[in-house]
Amino acid sequence: MKRILITGAAGFVGCHLARELSEVAGNQLVLVDNFVRGHPDEDFEAVTSRSNVQRLSADLTDPRTFEQIGTGFDCVYHLAAIIGVKNVMKRPWDVVQVNGLSTLHLLEWFRSGGAQKLLFSSTSEVYAWTQQFHGLPVPTPEDVPVALTDLGIARSSYAGSKIFGELAVTHACASAGKAFVIVRYHNVYGPRMGFEHVIPELCKRVLSGQNPLVVYSVDHIRAFCYITDAVSATIAAMESDVADGQTINIGTDEEVTIGDLAARVLRATNVTAGIAAQSAGYDPIKRRCPDISRARRLLGYRPQVSLSEGLERTLAWYEPRILTSRDQLITARVES
């Protein structure tokens, strides 16, 4: 039997990860979330209804929470954080406070016997400001410098919280002789990721009939990673001893412009519409793509889902939900 703790388990990656791990015979999961951003929808309820899964509503910024969680876990996936550009821009102090305190309290628990190995979820945002001002190679490997520049920019709160998290995890675990691995997610997408990211936002605008379709930063280049690939790499990082103490990019090297991404969404939904290009002033990074050679070498990681296939799967999940919401809104307006 393997005892597994996942923080932020009701979130996007957390829920998909929990579903995958809960299907392995012998695994016993405890899923922790405060349900402020992640929510117990039908997908999460399906996971928590399994006999080998326990859910706990808790605030990780309160150190007393870890008394409820208990100790003796084999591994902990620490995914809990405030994320999303809109949240970060509006609530930078909350980002710093919640992301920082939750990680510090978890590390105290971990060092005291909470679990045997820790996986910390970081982000491509740690490269953002170094890349903007100093120029980094793209695709970007894990061993380049990470830095913050203008601390007054709200968006730096998220990158800063993750850089701090990586620093805290590295030294807390090293000083206690504890096993850990850090993964940096790069533009992970798929079903159930909310509507505050570029792919679901485009889906919503297209299916809501927006014409011309408003697309921000059409010339920016990104590499999108489908959720099942991200989950398989995450589990491999936890289970691989050769990954211990490493920082590993998780993503794909299939690049696409945001303009082309929008065109793909239009084709996939069989919608004809023009594109109205607009600038997103809060996103200064024109090209971002991970070097995934370390993941390939250490984890045997090979992304399996192409962008075309991933978009089809994602749209299949979002389309009925968007159309239902649209029809309900139209009905409400007519009745009023």
Q: Where are the domains of the chain?
A: 2-188+227-251+287-305
Residue 10 has pLDDT above 80, yes or no: yes
Give the angle subtended at the CA of 136 by the CAs of 164 and 93, to the nearest 5°: 30
* pLDDT tens by residue, 183-236: 999 999 999 999 888 999 999 999 999 999 999 999 999 999 999 999 999 999
What single string gives the DSSP state of each residue in 119-182?
EEEEEGGGGHHHHHHH---SSBPTTS------TTSTTHHHHHHHHHHHHHHHHHHHHHT-EEEE
Query: What pLDDT is attached to residue 36?
Result: 86
What mean pLDDT do residues 31-39 have?
88
3-state secondary structure of 33: strand
The fold of the 2-188+227-251+287-305 domain, in CATH, is: Rossmann fold (3.40.50)
Q: How does the average pLDDT of the chain come out, rounded?
A: 93
pLDDT at 330: 45
- Give yes or no for residue 268 having a pLDDT over 80: yes
pLDDT band at 284 (very low <50, low <70, confident <90, very high): confident
Work out the average pLDDT over 276-291.
85
Alpha-helical (H) ranges within the chain are: 12-22, 42-48, 65-69, 85-90, 92-109, 128-134, 156-176, 198-207, 227-239, 258-268, 293-299, 307-335
Residues 83-129: tens digit of each pLDDT: 887 788 899 999 999 999 999 999 999 999 999 999 999 999 999 88
Mean pLDDT score, 26-55: 94
Dist. CA 201–CA 206, nearest whole Å: 9
**Predicted TM-score (pTM) of this structure:** 0.94
Q: What pLDDT does 43 receive? A: 95
- N-terminal to C-terminal alpha carbon distance within the chain: 56
pLDDT of residue 37: 77
Task: Please say if the pLDDT value at position 60 is more than 50.
Answer: yes
